[in-house]
Amino acid sequence: MPRSHAGARLTDEQREILILARRFAEQELRPGARLRDESEEAFDRSPVDKLGELGFLGMLIPEKYDGLGLDMLTYLYVLEEIAWGDPSVAVSMSVHNSLPTQTLLRYGTAEQKERWLKPMARGEILGAFSLSEADAGSDAAAITSQAVRDGDGWLLNGAKMWVTNGASADVILMMVRTDDPHDRRGSKGIGAFLVPTGADGYIPGKKERKMGLRGSETVAATLQDLYLGPEHLIGEPGQGFRYALEALEGGRLGIAAQAVGIAEAALDYARDYAEQRVQFGRSISRLQGIQFKLADMATRVEASRGLLYRAALSYDADEPRKRKLSSMAKLHASETAMWVTRQAVQVFGGYGYSREYPVERLFRDAKVTEIYEGTSEIHRMIIARELYLERGNNQ
């Protein structure tokens, strides 16, 4: 049983899934994590495809659509284990499970679910998500990429940024403006489209050179007179931004789980290294300064995990506080990942600064969890706003 879940009350099914996930993370992901990081100009999709073979790309999709039909909490258990093995692989799993598939599940037609959702659940099709643009990051409703009516279909033009798996995925759930350029409707003028990456007019850029998660593919993408039939629009043409925000509520839980997995991995490495490293004639694990570091690291990891699991239960129960709790979980877990990995580097000392040791990579990987799926600053704004909304509802 994975150590982080040893005291949890798990069903037999959860226990079996977790053992499978940890075995895969230990035997398949960890051995190649360093090479994937160093080979940053190439993208190895094979670990993600193996996740699909295990059923891990359809965990939240009902069985009638060929998924596993599991709850959010079980999914996060698994995602944490995958991130413990390699955070770069975990982000692909998170994006696929939370953003395109969940939007299709909620708002797709029967035909769209048959064509796209079922093979995505089986891991045969890898999904991606695209909202951000060069001048529309935190202010995502400011996107300018445009979809114009062309007969029954749509003609898309524009440029998107920071698309995870934007060159290697098979289909991208993409947010594009559908309102008139001379009569903008803000967030109510955006549509959600399924864009096949093999479509004429979809032009992915080169793989970005990043600080961390170098084993994950991130690209810019150009839309150049890309024609899509009406069957590629999900739901109403002006409701795409709302669909995106709903999907991101689950997505930020996935990133929180990724952050917890990163922090857990850094703690494990630091604990083991401290036991092996000898200074002043004894293992540094016996030095109070190191013991206090490890104790604080472990406490913060468990606090983040507890908040994440509370948020997951709220999400599954569709509680009114789920938005606030998901932002809290993402905020706390991402900042914990940064703090814990920094402490792990310190425990390793000079070796922690070397790329020969894994805590250096985890430190770099942790940083982006404070940025994507909503920056820490944005989540503090959401939490504060939800506090006032709760107060108003209770009066």
Q: What does the pLDDT look like over 333-351, one tens digit per residue?
A: 999 999 999 999 999 999 9
Q: What is the pLDDT of residue 215?
A: 96
- According to DSSP, the residues that pair with 147 across neighbouring strands are 156
For residue range 66-114, what is the model confidence (pLDDT) as tens digits?
999 999 999 999 999 999 999 999 999 999 999 999 999 999 999 999 9
Residue 46 has pLDDT above 80, yes or no: yes
For residue range 284-310, what is the model confidence (pLDDT) as tens digits?
999 999 999 999 999 999 999 999 999
Q: What is the pLDDT of residue 395?
A: 56
Contact 232, 194 (CB under 8 A): yes
For residue range 376-389, what is the model confidence (pLDDT) as tens digits?
999 999 999 999 99
Top-confidence residue, 392 or 19:
19
Q: Whole-number mean pLDDT of the chain?
A: 95
Reported confidence tier of residue 7, pLDDT bands at 50, 70, 90: low
Q: For residue 314, which amino acid is it?
A: S
Q: Which listed residue (373, 377, 386, 390) is catalytic?
A: 373
Alpha-carbon distances, residue 270 vs 295, 334, 345, 351 (angstroms): 11, 19, 8, 11
Alpha-carbon distances, residue 381 vs 63, 84, 323 (angstroms): 37, 29, 12
Q: Which of 11-15, 53-57, 240-244, 357-361 has the lowest mean pLDDT?
A: 11-15
d(CA 121, CA 365): 27
**202-240: buried (b, 16+ CB within 10 Å) or exposed (e) per residue?**
bebbebbebebbbbbbbbbbebeebebeeebbbbebbbb
Reported confidence tier of residue 360, pLDDT bands at 50, 70, 90: very high
373 catalytic per annotation: yes
Which residues fall within 8 angstroms of residue 1, CB to CB, at 6 or more apart?
A: 15, 18, 19
Q: What is the pLDDT of residue 40?
A: 87
- Per cent of the chain over pLDDT 70 is 97
Q: Which of 7-16, 25-34, 374-383 has the lowest mean pLDDT?
A: 7-16
**Rg of the chain (C-alpha set):** 21
Q: What is the pLDDT of residue 366?
A: 98
